Amino acid sequence: MRKKRLGKANIEVSVIGLGGIPLQRLTEEQAREVVKEAVDSGINFIDTARGYTVSEEYIGAALEKYQLRDRVYLATKTMVRDYEGMKKEIEISLQNLRTDYIDLYQAHLIKTEEQYAQFVGEDGGYRALVEAKKAGKIGAIGITAHTASLLEKFMDPEKFDTIQFPYNPIENQGKGLFERAHAHDMGVIVMKPIAGGAFGRGDLSLKYIMQNETITVAIPGMDSVEQVRQNAAIGSDETALSIEEKTEIQGIVDRLGSEFCRRCGYCLPCPQGIDIPTQFLFEGYLTRYDMKDWAVGRYEAQVKNASDCVECGICETRCPYNLPIRKMLKRVVQAF
Ligand code: SF4
Ligand code: SF4
């Protein structure tokens, strides 16, 4: 397994990491085996989140049972933005992960300028992260987002050691952000490396990602020992993509590309207040990740969802991929 330095976080991580989302749909025992197999396969970076229900707890249980804490770097994240809330979240993560130190703590999915302002403000969560770092509870601070135009504004190299953003052959709008992060010695973590399963050929998608030198680590979500073995093997493959592989990737991109949201966010704001890319994100969790309850819960908790679209069409004039957003939102409504 190849390793790379995660920018200013200054740790050497395997180029394939373990994404913790799917662990929550396993039993604790199954999750333990996935984590153990990952470490045995050379993976030393595990990313999870407070929001992934039992994922942190399952990982903590696996690390304790197999005494793996010294063999992995742990990353987690929270959507809590305020100072007091963040202090509590860090303590809960430490407890769940059964450790006294988390290598990377990230601001999870900052979605608006207001949220960012709160997070970095006087009573914001960022201050709690800085204090936790000084106290030796966390090692580095990162930021994650799904929308390129927002991350572009928020990825302050003075504040953050890493960024985390989706990337794969159909969602490659993060390329410029990665170059900028790399130039500022920020670690680059790639989420959704196989487009939430939509890409089909996970091996080719990961290999495509590995060719981009500005990326430090890709974190596919894995829910079986077999999947871990397959994905980990790509981390040792140093060959360039062959002409046949490139042709195959392009074929898949062409098939999926016509109606696939890249989450760039340029369609926003919607006058009805719909967070358009998030509708497609939840649809993906429902239809591709097989996380029905999780997706339905989050979809329904939104103040506005796809069903509030009045079909004004403004968003479609802004989408650089010319997506038929109105038609796609109807599909989302139907799916839910
Ligand atoms: S078409 Fe629907 S989603 Fe698009 S801007 Fe209008 S109301 Fe919002
Ligand atoms: S609908 Fe289009 S503009 Fe909006 S996030 Fe998706 S790809 Fe970007």
The protein residue whose alpha carbon is closest to atom 8 in ligand 2 is 264
The protein residue whose alpha carbon is closest to atom 6 in ligand 2 is 261
- Pocket lining: 66 vs ligand 2, CB cutoff 6 Å: no
Q: Is residue 261 a part of any domain in this protein?
A: no
State which ligand 1 atom lies nearest to the alpha carbon of 312.
6
pLDDT band, residue 156 (cuts 50/70/90): very high
- Taking the centre of ligand 1 as the mean of its atom positions, its distance from the CA of residue 54, in whole angstroms, is 35
The string of pLDDT tens digits covering residues 110-141 is 888 999 999 999 999 999 999 999 999 999 99
Predicted pLDDT at 254: 84
CA distance 204 to 1: 17
Q: Is residue 80 a part of any domain in this protein?
A: yes
- Pocket lining: 26 vs ligand 2, CB cutoff 6 Å: no
Q: How many CB atoms are closer than 10 A to CB 257?
A: 14
- Taking the centre of ligand 2 as the mean of its atom positions, its distance from the CA of residue 8, in whole angstroms, is 31
Q: Measuring CA to CA, which residue among 125, 149, 136 is closest to residue 269? A: 149
Predicted pLDDT at 262: 75
The protein residue whose alpha carbon is closest to atom 7 in ligand 1 is 309
Q: Is residue 259 a part of any domain in this protein?
A: no
- Taking the centre of ligand 1 as the mean of its atom positions, its distance from the CA of residue 169, in whole angstroms, is 27
Q: Is residue 254 a part of any domain in this protein?
A: no
If one counts the domains in the chain, the total is: 2
Token pair, residue 139, equals 């090692």
Token pair, residue 5, equals 């330095």
State which ligand 1 atom lies nearest to the alpha carbon of 306.
3
Residue 100 has pLDDT above 90, yes or no: yes
CA distance 23 to 78: 17
Question: What pTM was computed for the model?
Answer: 0.82
pLDDT band, residue 257 (cuts 50/70/90): low
Residues 131 and 233 in one domain: yes
For residue 327, which ligand has an atom nearest its CA?
1
* Average pLDDT over the chain, rounded to an integer: 94
Q: Is residue 219 a part of any domain in this protein?
A: yes
Q: Is residue 203 a part of any domain in this protein?
A: yes
Residues 41 and 153 in one domain: yes
Q: Which residues form the domain of 182?
A: 3-245
What average pLDDT does this structure show over 152-172?
95
Residues 292 and 239 in one domain: no
What average pLDDT does this structure show over 13-38?
95
State which ligand 2 atom lies nearest to the alpha carbon of 260.
7
Q: Residue 133: give its domain's CATH number.
A: 3.20.20.100
Which of 24-28, 78-82, 120-124, 251-255 has the lowest average pLDDT? 251-255
- Pocket lining: 138 vs ligand 2, CB cutoff 6 Å: no
Alpha helices in the chain (DSSP H): 28-40, 55-65, 83-96, 113-120, 125-134, 148-154, 175-183, 202-210, 225-234, 243-257, 276-287, 292-301, 314-318, 325-335
Residues 233 and 291 in one domain: no
pLDDT band, residue 276 (cuts 50/70/90): very high
Q: Is residue 264 a part of any domain in this protein?
A: no
